[in-house]
Structure 1
Amino acid sequence: MWTLKEIKLAKLVLLSYSEKEKVKERSLYARLLDELAKYEIFEAKRYYEEISDLFFNRIQWLLMINDIDEAKDCLQLYERVITKADNLYFSLQLRFMTYIVNLYFDFPIYSQKINALLDQLSSMPTSETHFYKIISQLHMEKAKNYYQRYQE
Protein backbone atom coordinates (compact mmCIF):
# COMPACT_ATOMS: atom_id res chain seq x y z
CA MET A 1 0.00 0.00 0.00
CA TRP A 2 1.34 3.38 -0.97
CA THR A 3 1.49 6.21 1.53
CA LEU A 4 -0.39 9.42 0.81
CA LYS A 5 2.94 11.11 0.19
CA GLU A 6 3.78 8.54 -2.49
CA ILE A 7 0.33 8.97 -4.02
CA LYS A 8 0.75 12.75 -4.18
CA LEU A 9 4.15 12.35 -5.81
CA ALA A 10 2.79 9.85 -8.33
CA LYS A 11 0.00 12.28 -9.26
CA LEU A 12 2.65 14.85 -10.13
CA VAL A 13 4.57 12.28 -12.18
CA LEU A 14 1.34 11.53 -14.02
CA LEU A 15 1.20 15.14 -15.23
CA SER A 16 4.76 14.98 -16.55
CA TYR A 17 4.13 12.28 -19.15
CA SER A 18 4.20 13.22 -22.80
CA GLU A 19 1.63 12.17 -25.36
CA LYS A 20 3.99 9.39 -26.47
CA GLU A 21 3.93 7.89 -22.97
CA LYS A 22 0.21 7.12 -22.84
CA VAL A 23 0.78 3.47 -21.92
CA LYS A 24 2.94 4.45 -18.94
CA GLU A 25 0.45 7.13 -17.96
CA ARG A 26 -2.49 4.74 -18.11
CA SER A 27 -0.61 2.18 -16.03
CA LEU A 28 0.27 4.70 -13.32
CA TYR A 29 -3.27 6.10 -13.38
CA ALA A 30 -4.72 2.60 -12.86
CA ARG A 31 -2.28 1.98 -10.01
CA LEU A 32 -3.26 5.28 -8.38
CA LEU A 33 -6.94 4.37 -8.59
CA ASP A 34 -6.17 1.03 -6.93
CA GLU A 35 -4.04 2.59 -4.21
CA LEU A 36 -6.58 5.31 -3.47
CA ALA A 37 -9.41 2.77 -3.26
CA LYS A 38 -7.67 1.34 -0.18
CA TYR A 39 -8.16 4.66 1.61
CA GLU A 40 -11.88 4.96 0.88
CA ILE A 41 -13.00 2.68 3.70
CA PHE A 42 -11.05 4.14 6.59
CA GLU A 43 -10.34 7.70 5.49
CA ALA A 44 -13.16 8.74 3.16
CA LYS A 45 -12.54 12.50 3.35
CA ARG A 46 -8.90 12.09 2.33
CA TYR A 47 -9.88 9.58 -0.36
CA TYR A 48 -12.30 12.01 -1.99
CA GLU A 49 -9.80 14.86 -1.82
CA GLU A 50 -7.10 12.80 -3.48
CA ILE A 51 -9.30 11.08 -6.06
CA SER A 52 -10.87 14.39 -7.04
CA ASP A 53 -7.43 15.88 -7.53
CA LEU A 54 -6.37 12.86 -9.57
CA PHE A 55 -9.35 13.13 -11.92
CA PHE A 56 -8.98 16.91 -12.19
CA ASN A 57 -5.33 16.57 -13.22
CA ARG A 58 -5.85 13.61 -15.53
CA ILE A 59 -8.65 15.33 -17.42
CA GLN A 60 -6.42 18.39 -17.85
CA TRP A 61 -3.63 16.20 -19.19
CA LEU A 62 -5.94 14.36 -21.60
CA LEU A 63 -7.31 17.64 -22.96
CA MET A 64 -3.82 19.04 -23.41
CA ILE A 65 -2.76 16.03 -25.50
CA ASN A 66 -6.02 16.26 -27.47
CA ASP A 67 -7.45 12.97 -26.23
CA ILE A 68 -10.85 14.58 -25.89
CA ASP A 69 -12.89 11.37 -25.98
CA GLU A 70 -10.81 9.80 -23.20
CA ALA A 71 -11.20 13.02 -21.19
CA LYS A 72 -14.97 12.68 -21.53
CA ASP A 73 -14.80 9.03 -20.38
CA CYS A 74 -12.64 10.05 -17.43
CA LEU A 75 -15.14 12.79 -16.58
CA GLN A 76 -17.95 10.23 -16.45
CA LEU A 77 -15.97 8.07 -14.03
CA TYR A 78 -15.11 11.18 -12.00
CA GLU A 79 -18.81 12.00 -11.76
CA ARG A 80 -19.76 8.49 -10.60
CA VAL A 81 -17.06 8.48 -7.92
CA ILE A 82 -17.29 12.03 -6.63
CA THR A 83 -21.09 12.26 -6.45
CA LYS A 84 -20.92 9.82 -3.52
CA ALA A 85 -18.89 12.35 -1.52
CA ASP A 86 -21.90 14.68 -1.12
CA ASN A 87 -19.53 17.65 -0.85
CA LEU A 88 -20.17 21.17 -2.15
CA TYR A 89 -16.56 21.84 -3.16
CA PHE A 90 -16.26 18.58 -5.09
CA SER A 91 -19.62 19.22 -6.76
CA LEU A 92 -18.46 22.67 -7.85
CA GLN A 93 -15.19 21.28 -9.15
CA LEU A 94 -17.07 18.57 -11.03
CA ARG A 95 -19.37 21.15 -12.62
CA PHE A 96 -16.36 23.24 -13.63
CA MET A 97 -14.63 20.25 -15.21
CA THR A 98 -17.85 19.18 -16.92
CA TYR A 99 -18.06 22.61 -18.54
CA ILE A 100 -14.37 22.51 -19.50
CA VAL A 101 -14.67 19.12 -21.22
CA ASN A 102 -17.94 20.02 -22.91
CA LEU A 103 -16.39 23.19 -24.34
CA TYR A 104 -14.72 20.88 -26.85
CA PHE A 105 -18.04 19.35 -27.94
CA ASP A 106 -20.39 22.35 -27.84
CA PHE A 107 -18.32 25.50 -27.54
CA PRO A 108 -21.11 28.08 -28.04
CA ILE A 109 -23.24 26.69 -25.20
CA TYR A 110 -20.52 25.78 -22.73
CA SER A 111 -18.49 28.94 -23.16
CA GLN A 112 -21.57 30.81 -21.91
CA LYS A 113 -22.06 28.35 -19.05
CA ILE A 114 -18.47 28.54 -17.91
CA ASN A 115 -18.46 32.33 -18.08
CA ALA A 116 -21.64 32.43 -15.99
CA LEU A 117 -20.07 30.09 -13.44
CA LEU A 118 -16.89 32.18 -13.29
CA ASP A 119 -18.98 35.33 -12.86
CA GLN A 120 -20.67 33.74 -9.85
CA LEU A 121 -17.34 32.64 -8.41
CA SER A 122 -15.73 36.05 -8.90
CA SER A 123 -17.67 37.33 -5.89
CA MET A 124 -15.62 34.87 -3.81
CA PRO A 125 -12.03 35.82 -4.61
CA THR A 126 -9.87 32.89 -3.55
CA SER A 127 -6.77 31.32 -5.00
CA GLU A 128 -8.98 28.50 -6.28
CA THR A 129 -11.30 30.85 -8.21
CA HIS A 130 -8.26 32.55 -9.72
CA PHE A 131 -6.92 29.11 -10.68
CA TYR A 132 -10.25 28.26 -12.34
CA LYS A 133 -10.09 31.46 -14.39
CA ILE A 134 -6.61 30.59 -15.63
CA ILE A 135 -7.62 27.04 -16.54
CA SER A 136 -10.75 28.24 -18.32
CA GLN A 137 -8.79 30.81 -20.34
CA LEU A 138 -6.37 28.13 -21.43
CA HIS A 139 -9.14 25.78 -22.53
CA MET A 140 -11.42 28.42 -24.06
CA GLU A 141 -9.02 29.09 -26.89
CA LYS A 142 -8.01 25.46 -27.32
CA ALA A 143 -11.63 24.26 -27.23
CA LYS A 144 -12.77 26.94 -29.64
CA ASN A 145 -10.16 25.86 -32.18
CA TYR A 146 -10.99 22.18 -31.65
CA TYR A 147 -14.72 22.81 -31.98
CA GLN A 148 -14.30 24.86 -35.16
CA ARG A 149 -12.07 22.22 -36.69
CA TYR A 150 -13.91 19.02 -35.73
CA GLN A 151 -17.44 19.74 -34.57
CA GLU A 152 -18.97 22.34 -36.85
Structure 2
Amino acid sequence: MQVNIGIKQAHLAAVSHSLGKIMADEFILYTKTRKAHWCVTGPDFHSKHLFFESQYQQLEEIIDDMAERIRTLGHFPPATLKEFLSLTHLSEMSREKNDSTGFIKDLLHDHESILIHLRENINDYATAFHDAGSSDYITGLMETHEKMAWMLRAHLE
Protein backbone atom coordinates (compact mmCIF):
# COMPACT_ATOMS: atom_id res chain seq x y z
CA MET A 1 0.00 0.00 0.00
CA GLN A 2 1.29 3.42 -0.92
CA VAL A 3 2.30 5.82 1.85
CA ASN A 4 0.23 9.03 1.85
CA ILE A 5 1.86 11.41 4.36
CA GLY A 6 2.01 14.62 2.36
CA ILE A 7 5.34 13.93 0.65
CA LYS A 8 5.56 13.12 -3.06
CA GLN A 9 6.34 9.50 -3.86
CA ALA A 10 9.50 10.51 -5.74
CA HIS A 11 10.69 12.42 -2.68
CA LEU A 12 9.94 9.47 -0.40
CA ALA A 13 12.01 7.27 -2.70
CA ALA A 14 14.90 9.75 -2.84
CA VAL A 15 15.03 10.20 0.93
CA SER A 16 14.72 6.44 1.50
CA HIS A 17 17.60 5.78 -0.88
CA SER A 18 19.72 8.42 0.84
CA LEU A 19 18.86 7.01 4.26
CA GLY A 20 19.82 3.57 2.95
CA LYS A 21 23.31 4.88 2.20
CA ILE A 22 23.56 6.31 5.70
CA MET A 23 22.31 3.01 7.11
CA ALA A 24 25.05 1.19 5.18
CA ASP A 25 27.63 3.52 6.76
CA GLU A 26 26.13 2.81 10.18
CA PHE A 27 26.30 -0.94 9.61
CA ILE A 28 29.93 -0.83 8.50
CA LEU A 29 30.80 1.35 11.52
CA TYR A 30 28.89 -1.06 13.77
CA THR A 31 30.89 -3.99 12.36
CA LYS A 32 34.17 -2.15 12.80
CA THR A 33 33.25 -1.26 16.38
CA ARG A 34 32.37 -4.91 17.05
CA LYS A 35 35.78 -5.87 15.70
CA ALA A 36 37.45 -3.40 18.05
CA HIS A 37 35.46 -4.89 20.94
CA TRP A 38 36.43 -8.44 20.02
CA CYS A 39 40.04 -7.86 19.01
CA VAL A 40 41.45 -5.08 21.20
CA THR A 41 44.56 -6.08 23.14
CA GLY A 42 46.89 -4.35 25.55
CA PRO A 43 47.06 -3.21 29.15
CA ASP A 44 43.79 -1.28 28.75
CA PHE A 45 41.95 -4.28 27.32
CA HIS A 46 39.14 -4.51 29.85
CA SER A 47 38.17 -0.84 29.88
CA LYS A 48 38.33 -0.53 26.07
CA HIS A 49 36.47 -3.83 25.62
CA LEU A 50 33.60 -2.39 27.67
CA PHE A 51 33.84 1.02 25.98
CA PHE A 52 33.61 -0.45 22.48
CA GLU A 53 30.66 -2.57 23.63
CA SER A 54 28.74 0.52 24.71
CA GLN A 55 29.48 2.15 21.35
CA TYR A 56 28.37 -0.80 19.22
CA GLN A 57 25.18 -1.12 21.25
CA GLN A 58 24.34 2.50 20.38
CA LEU A 59 25.07 1.83 16.73
CA GLU A 60 22.89 -1.29 16.78
CA GLU A 61 19.97 0.84 18.00
CA ILE A 62 20.68 3.46 15.32
CA ILE A 63 20.59 0.81 12.59
CA ASP A 64 17.24 -0.53 13.79
CA ASP A 65 15.76 2.96 14.03
CA MET A 66 17.07 3.80 10.56
CA ALA A 67 15.47 0.69 9.06
CA GLU A 68 12.18 1.61 10.72
CA ARG A 69 12.42 5.19 9.40
CA ILE A 70 12.89 3.87 5.86
CA ARG A 71 9.90 1.51 6.30
CA THR A 72 7.85 4.46 7.61
CA LEU A 73 8.53 6.18 4.29
CA GLY A 74 7.18 3.13 2.45
CA HIS A 75 10.44 1.60 1.28
CA PHE A 76 12.65 -1.30 2.25
CA PRO A 77 16.06 -0.74 3.84
CA PRO A 78 19.22 -2.42 2.61
CA ALA A 79 19.56 -5.67 4.51
CA THR A 80 22.43 -7.69 3.07
CA LEU A 81 26.16 -7.37 3.43
CA LYS A 82 26.44 -6.99 -0.34
CA GLU A 83 24.01 -4.04 -0.28
CA PHE A 84 25.77 -2.41 2.67
CA LEU A 85 29.17 -2.68 0.99
CA SER A 86 27.85 -1.29 -2.29
CA LEU A 87 26.17 1.70 -0.61
CA THR A 88 28.71 2.74 2.04
CA HIS A 89 31.36 5.37 1.59
CA LEU A 90 33.38 3.89 4.47
CA SER A 91 36.04 1.25 4.05
CA GLU A 92 36.42 -1.97 5.94
CA MET A 93 39.02 -1.99 8.70
CA SER A 94 42.33 -3.66 8.02
CA ARG A 95 44.68 -3.49 10.98
CA GLU A 96 47.99 -5.17 11.70
CA LYS A 97 47.91 -4.21 15.39
CA ASN A 98 44.93 -4.54 17.70
CA ASP A 99 45.81 -1.66 20.01
CA SER A 100 43.05 0.52 21.38
CA THR A 101 44.57 3.78 20.10
CA GLY A 102 44.57 2.52 16.53
CA PHE A 103 40.99 1.30 16.76
CA ILE A 104 39.88 4.58 18.32
CA LYS A 105 41.53 6.66 15.59
CA ASP A 106 39.89 4.56 12.85
CA LEU A 107 36.45 4.68 14.47
CA LEU A 108 36.71 8.42 15.16
CA HIS A 109 37.53 9.05 11.50
CA ASP A 110 34.40 7.14 10.46
CA HIS A 111 32.14 8.97 12.93
CA GLU A 112 33.45 12.28 11.62
CA SER A 113 32.90 11.14 8.03
CA ILE A 114 29.31 10.17 8.83
CA LEU A 115 28.77 13.53 10.56
CA ILE A 116 29.86 15.41 7.44
CA HIS A 117 27.54 13.28 5.31
CA LEU A 118 24.61 13.87 7.69
CA ARG A 119 25.16 17.64 7.64
CA GLU A 120 25.14 17.59 3.84
CA ASN A 121 21.66 16.05 3.85
CA ILE A 122 19.78 17.88 6.62
CA ASN A 123 18.70 20.88 4.54
CA ASP A 124 18.03 18.85 1.38
CA TYR A 125 15.63 16.56 3.21
CA ALA A 126 13.70 19.54 4.57
CA THR A 127 13.76 21.87 1.56
CA ALA A 128 14.28 19.84 -1.62
CA PHE A 129 12.23 16.83 -0.52
CA HIS A 130 9.81 18.53 1.91
CA ASP A 131 10.53 15.89 4.55
CA ALA A 132 11.05 17.73 7.82
CA GLY A 133 10.65 14.46 9.72
CA SER A 134 13.69 12.86 8.10
CA SER A 135 15.61 16.11 8.43
CA ASP A 136 14.83 16.16 12.14
CA TYR A 137 15.66 12.46 12.42
CA ILE A 138 19.16 12.87 10.99
CA THR A 139 19.70 16.01 13.08
CA GLY A 140 19.19 13.84 16.16
CA LEU A 141 21.42 11.19 14.65
CA MET A 142 24.08 13.83 14.06
CA GLU A 143 23.97 14.80 17.74
CA THR A 144 24.42 11.15 18.74
CA HIS A 145 27.45 10.78 16.48
CA GLU A 146 28.91 14.04 17.79
CA LYS A 147 28.78 12.65 21.33
CA MET A 148 30.17 9.27 20.29
CA ALA A 149 33.02 11.02 18.45
CA TRP A 150 33.73 13.17 21.50
CA MET A 151 33.95 10.03 23.65
CA LEU A 152 36.45 8.52 21.20
CA ARG A 153 38.41 11.76 20.85
CA ALA A 154 38.72 12.08 24.63
CA HIS A 155 40.75 8.85 24.69
CA LEU A 156 43.30 10.41 22.34
CA GLU A 157 43.92 13.65 24.27
Higher share of residues assigned helix:
1
Structure with higher RCO (Cα < 8 A, 6+ apart): 2
TM range (shorter): 0.3 to 0.5
